[in-house]
């Protein structure tokens, strides 16, 4: 796996250890990619395990993105607007 490095003002604040991406075929023909990560800087019992995910619909378009963008905030989920104006 690879590590995720989180920086604030060009200063490394934490390193998370992540597994390799796993791919899962969805029932609609799309793909879901999942990667489990853990905050390795905390004590063993206090380590937070989370998953970053993204989904590709059957047309090959990104349909959902769920990522931890900063270790002090909740995971963010983004989806495209259906009919942008």
Residue range 16-58, pLDDT digits in tens? 999 999 999 999 999 999 999 998 776 666 678 899 999 999 9
DSSP class of residue 5? E
pTM as predicted: 0.79
Q: End-to-end alpha-carbon separation of the chain, Å?
A: 40
Distance, in Å, from the CA atom of 11 to the CA atom of 46, rounded to the nearest integer, reads 23
Q: Tokens 């604040």 — which residue?
A: 13
pLDDT classification of 3: cutoffs 50, 70, 90: confident
Helix (H, G, I), strand (E, B) or coil at 44: helix
């Amino acid at each position: 796996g690879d590590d995720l490095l989180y920086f604030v003002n060009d200063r490394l604040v934490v390193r998370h250890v992540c597994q390799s991406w796993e791919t899962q075929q969805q029932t609609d023909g799309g793909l879901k990619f999942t990667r489990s990560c853990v905050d390795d800087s905390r004590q063993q019992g206090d380590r937070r395990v989370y998953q970053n995910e993204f989904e590709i619909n059957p047309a090959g378009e990104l349909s959902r993105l769920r990522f931890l963008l900063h270790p002090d905030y909740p995971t963010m989920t983004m989806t495209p607007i259906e009919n942008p104006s």
